[in-house]
Structure 1
Amino acid sequence: MTISVGDRLPDATFIKPTANGPEPVTTEEFFKGRKVALFSVPGAFTPTCSVKHLPGFVDKIDAFKDKGIDEVACTAVNDAFVLGAWEQANDASGKVTMLADGNASFAKAIGLEMDNSSYGMGVRGQRYAMIVNDGVVEALDVEAPGEFKVSSAEHVLEQL
């Protein structure tokens, strides 16, 4: 079953890349008492993700803060080391928090995984954006396969 607006995020653990190395953080810990814009990319260092998706959120971080978003986070089915390197390569440090979902546990738990085996990428998370308020999904926009429209920073900002 796919997560919907009004649903509480399931219990899951992400791995955050930090200066001290990878650190686990649960959905309960990360989203509690805060309003978070969470977006998912199929993979770090992939074309659309690197050229459009992440840079849009990095460039518009102040606009998100002005609209009451406490934190902007990105999740991908990559390990924390890859997401940490991607964060550095895109000047996202201190702007977008990376949440590694290396085993696709979160993507599967919310029903937004996809099988990219035909591209040699295995199971990945779909491209989407959601607004999560204190652990509850307030808005959710999932892209159609191959699309990049409704999960863009611009579209999310228009929804706030």
Structure 2
Amino acid sequence: MPIQPGDTLPDIELQVMGEKGPEKVRTSELFAGKKAVLFAVPGAFTPTCSAAHLPGFVVNADKLRAKGVDSIVCTSVNDAFVMDAWGKSQNAEEITMLADGLGEFARAVDLTQDRTANGMGIRSQRYAMIVNNGTVELLNIDAQGLDQTSAETILAAL
């Protein structure tokens, strides 16, 4: 069963790109004491993710912050180099691009999907969460499209 509102995010070690290369970061530290929006995409540089999902959060970052969001985090089952390149290509300086290269976080929150038929392996489902001090307050999942996980939908929920 997927993680639910009221649950604490699992403490998983993932990566972000630092000045000298990939750096380890624990989810417990990343979300401690902060109100955050965490959204996941099936893959960096993929059509819907690049054309709409990430750009929506880039465009609405100031509005999200005005509603009390301390950090906006995007995760995908990609490595830190890919997440960093994708973030730069999307002008996502205000978004933490969190690499879940082995899919450990996606599995821990039970939000994976099997894309092996498309040559992509096990990926994250498309979801968006509002997280307060490590506790999930809202979880929206989209099987298709962005109706539930867009920046606009999350903004309206804050």
Structure 1 length as normaliser, TM-score? 0.97
RMSD (Å), alpha carbons = 0.7
Distance 1:66 1:147 in 2: 26
- What is aligned with 1:56? 56
- What is aligned with 1:111? 110
Q: Is the 8 A contact 1:18 1:84 kept in 2?
A: no
Distance 1:84 1:98 in 2: 6
* Deviation at residue 101 of structure 1 after TM alignment: 0.2
Secondary structure, in 3 states, of the residue corresponding to 2:107?
A: helix
* Greater share of strand: 2
Identity rate of aligned residues, in percent?
52
Give, as a single letter, the amino acid of the residue that structure 1 aligns with 2:146.
F
- What is aligned with 1:35? 35
* Deviation at residue 19 of structure 1 after TM alignment: 2.1
- What is aligned with 2:98? 99
Structure 2 length as normaliser, TM-score? 0.98
- Runs of at least 4 residues of structure 1 off by over 2 A? none
Per-residue displacement from partner, 1:81-140 (whole Å, max 9, x unpaired)? 0000001101112x1110000000000000001110011000000000001100000010
What stretches of structure 1 of length at least 5 have no aligned partner?
A: none
Distance 1:2 1:53 in 2: 21
Q: Is the 8 A contact 1:5 1:140 kept in 2?
A: yes
Distance 1:152 1:19 in 2: 30
Give, as a single letter, the amino acid of the residue that structure 2 aligns with 1:117.
T
